[in-house]
A and B are shown apart, each in its own frame.
Chain A
Amino acid sequence: MDEPRDFIASFMDDYFAESEEHLATARQHLLLLEAAMHDDELPTAIVDELFRSFHSLKGISAMVELREAEQLAHEMESCLARIRERRSVLTPPVFETLVSATNVLEQVIVGRREGSAIPSIDQALAQFATVGASSSSRDQPPGTSTVQTHAAHSPIRVTFTPTADLVARGVRVDTIRTRLSDTGHIERVAPRITKDGGITFEFLVTGIPDDTLRSWRDDGVTFEVIEPAAVPRPVEIPATTPGPANYVRVDLGRLDDLMRFVSDLVVSRARLEDTLLRVESYVPAAIWRTLEEHTESIERQLGDLREGVMRVRLVPVSEIFRRMPFVVRDLARDAGKQVQLELVGQSTEIDKFLIERMMDPVLHLVRNAVSHGIESPEERITAGKRPDGTIRLAASTVGESVVIEVSDDGRGIDADAISRRAREAGLDVPHGELHAQALLDVISLPGFSTRDEADRASGRGIGMSVVRDSIQELGGSLSVVTTAGAGTTFRAVLPLTLAITDALIVHVGSRTFAVPQSAIQEVADIDSSAVRAIEHNELVVHRGMPLPVVRLAQLFGIDSLERQRLHVIIVGSGLGAVGILVDRISGQREIVVKALHDPLVTVTGISGASELGDGQLVLILDVAGLTRTLRHRGTAIRAAV
């Protein structure tokens, strides 16, 4: 029996990846379905998509002999098929069953992947049996009458508007429902709020003669026939929904390889250019110009290629966000809270590497918002708020950063309670009132938890300390703003290009630095005699313009021999342009940026460090910071003169 087991094992990774994809699609469409549930027409396209997802899940689960998943997916598929064929009605209980079964299905698959216990699917199956039974009673339409004026299945929209008079006469919505179901077949029913705040009930029925309906007019019943051509109309799915066929799943490792190849190419091109410069004087001018044109177009094309590869790594932040409605829904229901989730900026693009590492931190912040931030409806009403709280999940690109914010309009963080609890737990807490950042420090201490009871959110989640660590490890930062009674906002700022950027590796004396390529306008060679001192500043004339320069050796107090040839790295543009003088440039490469946050090593001109693969760190120049101080110095000097 070992052989087939191995055979299956080799497919498991593919299975998990694929099932995750199908589950993600299913979740997304369940949400669309929920939104469209009360529409007049059955959202066929969504039901179809869900059907396909569960059908595929059933198939692949059967292939890996995950029987529980197969069975569940089968039930869901059948349920959806009944809905699609209008043998069953999509009611809220049916919808709930689909949602909870999706969650169980996910747990089954996760259980298998983690090698942990696979949850029982009996309850989910039983739920299907219940909702299935109630809908199957309508599997057979009642006998059709010959006096119909419409085809048996031409749907009619029947509207019932209850009034006090009608209620007094004993005509309620139940009465009408009974009449309709006795005479014909009710496809769907939904309450509607009218513009003036009243309520009406809309029934979609088939098989009821016009005359019968007309005779109920005095009982508050109106009706209109829906032309067959208009039904069913497929629901338009928002453009963000990934089509099934236009995507390729790529191992991130392969993208990294591609990126490395491109980086190697960039270095090779730089060497080629170097060599070319050395042969310039031996080459006839006309040929030289052609050569130059060629290397320039290679450079341009390389740039495009690099950007293209980078873009492949970018994915919309919705990959994180789309899981959240489920989390919020489940948690809110369990906690007896009412929560609206607002998603903003879902199309904001962020590196795949970051997406994967931000999933858990964001999940944790959202869980915290539900379990600690948002109050119970009663508490909110007492506080004069709407009973339902709002959690806002927003992403945006700000300059070179991606900002992800998780806000709630809940009770805010009680600083006193936090410090008390932290002290009780034996943690080192600064005395006096805690400002927001100190508060974050405290709740991020390992071992800190705000709740005595292991509630569901913190019980299986990760601590705030892990949230902050993971964000910092990505070169980002986390901050919090909280107002008692009004809510809390957690704000994660992440580097746009994740931790990977291209940099020029430069040398000054025995030190090595990396200069982010994105900051560099131009690199030029100059003779040291071209550097002229003007008052306290040094400058060179570059392209006919005076360019202030700074010697990195001097700025950083590094011993370096006076050299004949210097390299000037020009950063900034126009009047803000500054040249940084270095001894040597050894190449260009992709570096993984680790930000330097600690106050001990926060110095002007250094933004971070990168490990070049041999355990050695090089410091990354903060070009913006450097030019800023130079400008200030310049201004100060000008002001003093």
Chain B
Amino acid sequence: MTQQANEWDLLIEPKKKLLSIDFAEIWRYRDLYKQYVKRDIVTVYKQTIFGPLWFFFSPIFTTIMYMFVFNSLAGISTGDIPPAVFYMSGNILWGYFAACFSTGQTAFTANQGVFSKVYFPRLVAPLSGITSSFIKTMIQVLPLIFIYAYYVMHGVPLHFTWEALFLPVIIFLIALMGLGFGLIVSALTVKYRDLNNLVAFGLQLWMYATPVIYPVDITSNPKLSLVLKLNPLQSIFTDTRYMITGMGSMDWAGLLYTAIFTITILFLGVIVFNRQERTFMDTI
């Protein structure tokens, strides 16, 4: 019986197992993955004069706005880290998380046209999405480097710590957590779109619960502090700032918590994605 089944190259059945990712197949489609990444980057600055420079504008302007609203007007301290470096690093990290989340969330809706006509391993689309967002994020790091260099030259004691070797891990955690959450939301909203109305609001709320615009030790209330630390994104922001400035402290326990959290969420996300993948065209 199994002998027979093996002779067929392809078997199309009603249901797949929960967690069956055909990595070999995804690898075969690596050229498509590259094409998608290239398309995402290239199309943004087609017919523009400044081209990729436009990727700089969003973090620079947001940083200026944050410095004015939260630092000057509201008077929220950024600790020892200069506000420009604090806000811009927070903004870039959050921006990447939000981009990955949105890639996952729109995995089906944004690719509806292609998904309804051609088969390829569906995971290629969100995977290329987080990759192109990563490249855009790396471009956004350039202005941060200039500002960083400016402060260093003016005697502010900013320096990288050895823990900065873990920056790639941080990037992975952001990407996978964002993607995992996004995929879960997308599966929940493919059929009943009610939740979509709450997502933008929820994401904003989450940003304010994350140390993007304030340091995590802003409150001395132990209960509030615990709530902040339960946020799986907290350690990412706190630790990254420590790694690149040497100010604050490294929260290893928090990072471990975030890593476990991320793996769980990604696991769930891929399961629901797999479930939806084969029938979403009927319900979308």
A associates with B: no
B contacts, CB < 8 Å to A: none
A contacts, CB < 8 Å to B: none
